[in-house]
A and B are shown apart, each in its own frame.
Chain A
């Protein structure tokens, strides 16, 4: 069965969540255009979630985003609607396209909606229990030729597919957040995976205009394989620095160094908040279970025990975690001793910044370098300067850079990534880093 036939019956499980709604949008748009290009076929997108309000929000989201996409692709629509005499204005055509997209969509709360689906995307909560119970249920309902694409970011697919009797029919298809924007899909084909499924998975990624990086079926894959260890490194650095500087200033320093010295889009603790500290912990447990590597952190447990979780609200606003935020920018840091947030202002911040010392001059920023054609040259000069600086900030930057690099190299050594370039691609595309961890800047 070819991809076009399979696209006539598609399902997304966990569709109202952050990742699920993005995957649903990508598919809805593709099926919308496809329905116009192939009027002889019927394309159906089943969107399943336990949350009714979430599903209604999802349909609104699909409506608004379909309009935006139709506006962007107006020339394509004018061509597709060439023979529709009733559609003349751009406005007529965009409205018709939105209708066409929403015609694909069926929503529901039960997995039975996926019964006829030939491609089932799953973006449920990132625990093995949840995913197992969904897949066991689906295995009993879906057609034998149905294939399953899991958005898991950490759980090995071979183990998961065996546990629910879907060997050969399941593949890891890890989108990055937000899926509609991020260019990367990490594709994890377990050893039993059908070669046709692997081929279709890559073909589909091209249709959705995504770049793919293959990863081995080893817990955490490339993305979390790097991120989780990078986060744990940062926590250990905070623990190392805390006796001398205090816990809150130490966390401030490590976060700031990763953002302002290593020139990442956000500090490492802000990134952990973005992902969710609870989700971060779940992934460490999965990786610990399958890899036997000790990824436990007492400090992490302590924050979670105090209810500090991060993550995002349903509208996409950042919830407080290690840091608190105002208008999306860090505004305070959690102090577990005081059990409250210390504002990022006043003498303690100035003192901590003074202890770090300055960044090299001229000051570079991730934002400015993103569009700079000479970014490579500027980064080389920047890190050369950091190499020669005798400050705490430069020392922390050098240590973090090396730790991140070592993590990346280990992913290649352990066969998680096929090459250093694959690791770098994931960090650049999936995490918006300006440079991959396996580079020779320092």
Chain B
């Protein structure tokens, strides 16, 4: 795997709160801000960190399903509302289900690598609380193979898909062990979210998180192997970050300690129409991680901070295995050992992750990059951890492990 052809950096990250059930200010019966609000808030928070918005060469925005959630297409054009300086510059929306944000990052990185841009504003947005969760499940099912899978699938399609994975994983390592580890993942996620004022679970007051996570799943009302605390919630939010060349970030008035370097990245798609080759493994995620790490020339355990796509607690466990931090089936033990906690050897999803911060689908990949950038540059505030090693790794996953973008960052 060749190294990065030239240095590329991330800078000036920002994200909005993740609004939805769990936040005190969320009321499903009152009107809420739309796409424009979130795009502007996150985009402007990024622009406020640089000297001159006019230096931005391009815009990319990740979004999954605004066409259904908000009846709005053409988000590349919509994102120019962030600042007049974006007017008449290239801008586009990219889509890869829940990896849309990851694809936006990859697209921005490729623009800078091409030499056509020195600074790209990369954003992600999703506003999902426009419909009840039952219909949200319909829209999100578009991340699967609609013609081939949706009709026979469960009402809550993706919780159903990952419930099947959780069941297979439990059959492999023992259902009690799998349940314990998923409950622990939930506990870690909410404890981290309680330190992140933007997180959807910031206001969570559940006294015994482990007991909550151990609630036996109810197949009659939800799914066979997942309970509600295993799931990321329905969220509204946006995230923004700049992808820049070395010359680009210097021109913005930023110093090296303000930015992190992208030392490896990969973007992988797998056949949407076929089932996963192994339900107990995120195969595509593993391929993506292997390539990104090879490009960066490091092993996963060389990194000191991690962001993985825990749309469900089970995908959190499987993601740790896909990164190579645990053997196949060893993700549960790794999590139960405390290694993924804030003080553990591999601090993961320190701002809450998808389960704790929330999962505004198209924004999640960008939000992950922002959290890594914050941790690696010491900007994470109350949820800052001491990052023991200079690298951070993220994996942004779409659908049932069908599109994955993996990034290796270095402070």
The 10 A-B pairs at the shortest CB distance, nearest first, are namely A89-B138, A74-B155, A88-B151, A90-B138, A90-B134, A91-B135, A71-B134, A88-B150, A91-B138, A90-B155
Q: Do residues A78 and B138 form an inter-chain contact, with CB atoms below 8 A?
A: no
Q: Do residues A71 and B132 form an inter-chain contact, with CB atoms below 8 A?
A: yes
| B137 interface contact, C-beta 8 A | yes
Please measure, in the bound complex, the distance between the C-alpha atom of A407 and the C-alpha atom of B220, giving whole angstroms.
Answer: 43
Could you tell me the distance in whole angstroms from the C-beta of A4 to the nearest C-beta in chain B? 26
Interface of A is mostly: helix
Chain B interface residues (CB < 8 Å from chain A)? 132, 134-135, 137-138, 141, 146, 150-151, 154-155, 220
Q: Which residues of chain A come closer than 8 Å to B141, judged between CB atoms?
A: 89
Q: Which residues of chain A come closer than 8 Å to B154, judged between CB atoms?
A: 75, 78
Q: Do residues B135 and A90 form an inter-chain contact, with CB atoms below 8 A?
A: yes
Please measure, in the bound complex, the distance between the C-alpha atom of A91 and the C-alpha atom of B140, giving whole angstroms.
Answer: 13
Chain A interface residues (CB < 8 Å from chain B)? 71, 74-75, 78, 85, 88-91, 94
Q: Do residues B150 and A74 form an inter-chain contact, with CB atoms below 8 A?
A: no
Can you name the residue of chain B whose Cβ is closest to the Cβ of A68? B132
Q: Do residues A78 and B150 form an inter-chain contact, with CB atoms below 8 A?
A: no
A88-B150, A89-B141, A89-B150 given as contacts; is B155 within 8 A of A78 (CB)? yes
Q: Do residues A85 and B151 form an inter-chain contact, with CB atoms below 8 A?
A: yes
Q: Which residues of chain B come closer than 8 Å to A78, judged between CB atoms?
A: 154-155
Please measure, in the bound complex, the distance between the C-alpha atom of A74 and the C-alpha atom of B155, giving whole angstroms.
Answer: 7
Q: Do residues A75 and B155 form an inter-chain contact, with CB atoms below 8 A?
A: yes
Can you name the residue of chain A whose Cβ is closest to the Cβ of B222? A75
Query: What are 25 sample pairs from A and B whose C-beta atoms fall under 8 A apart?
Result: A71-B132, A71-B134, A74-B134, A74-B155, A75-B154, A75-B155, A75-B220, A78-B154, A78-B155, A85-B151, A88-B146, A88-B150, A88-B151, A89-B135, A89-B138, A89-B141, A89-B150, A90-B134, A90-B135, A90-B137, A90-B138, A90-B155, A91-B135, A91-B138, A94-B134
Q: Which residues of chain A come closer than 8 Å to B220, judged between CB atoms?
A: 75
Q: Which residues of chain B come closer than 8 Å to A75, judged between CB atoms?
A: 154-155, 220
Please measure, in the bound complex, the distance between the C-alpha atom of A94 and the C-alpha atom of B132, giving whole angstroms.
Answer: 13
Could you tell me the distance in whole angstroms from the C-beta of A246 to the nearest C-beta in chain B? 42
Q: Which residues of chain A come closer than 8 Å to B134, judged between CB atoms?
A: 71, 74, 90, 94
Can you name the residue of chain A whose Cβ is closest to the Cβ of B150? A88
Additional pairs, 14, CB under 8 Å, beyond known A75-B154, A90-B134, A90-B137: A71-B132, A71-B134, A74-B134, A74-B155, A75-B220, A78-B155, A85-B151, A88-B151, A89-B138, A89-B141, A90-B135, A90-B155, A91-B135, A91-B138
Please measure, in the bound complex, the distance between the C-alpha atom of A74 and the C-alpha atom of B223, giving whole angstroms.
Answer: 13
Q: Which residues of chain A come closer than 8 Å to B137, judged between CB atoms?
A: 90
Q: Which residues of chain A come closer than 8 Å to B155, judged between CB atoms?
A: 74-75, 78, 90
From A75, A78, A89, residue with most partner B Cβ within 10 Å: A89
Please measure, in the bound complex, the distance between the C-alpha atom of A75 and the C-alpha atom of B221, giving whole angstroms.
Answer: 9
Please measure, in the bound complex, the distance between the C-alpha atom of A75 and the C-alpha atom of B155, giving whole angstroms.
Answer: 6
Q: Which residues of chain B come closer than 8 Å to A88, judged between CB atoms?
A: 146, 150-151
Please measure, in the bound complex, the distance between the C-alpha atom of A308 and the C-alpha atom of B135, giving whole angstroms.
Answer: 46
Q: Which residues of chain B come closer than 8 Å to A85, judged between CB atoms?
A: 151
Please measure, in the bound complex, the distance between the C-alpha atom of A91 and the C-alpha atom of B138, giving whole angstroms.
Answer: 7
Can you name the residue of chain A whose Cβ is closest to the Cβ of B157? A90
Q: Which residues of chain B come closer than 8 Å to A94, judged between CB atoms?
A: 134
Q: Which residues of chain A come closer than 8 Å to B132, judged between CB atoms?
A: 71
Can you name the residue of chain A whose Cβ is closest to the Cβ of B132? A71
Please measure, in the bound complex, the distance between the C-alpha atom of A94 and the C-alpha atom of B135, giving whole angstroms.
Answer: 10
Can you name the residue of chain B whose Cβ is closest to the Cβ of A93? B155
Please measure, in the bound complex, the distance between the C-alpha atom of A74 and the C-alpha atom of B135, giving whole angstroms.
Answer: 11
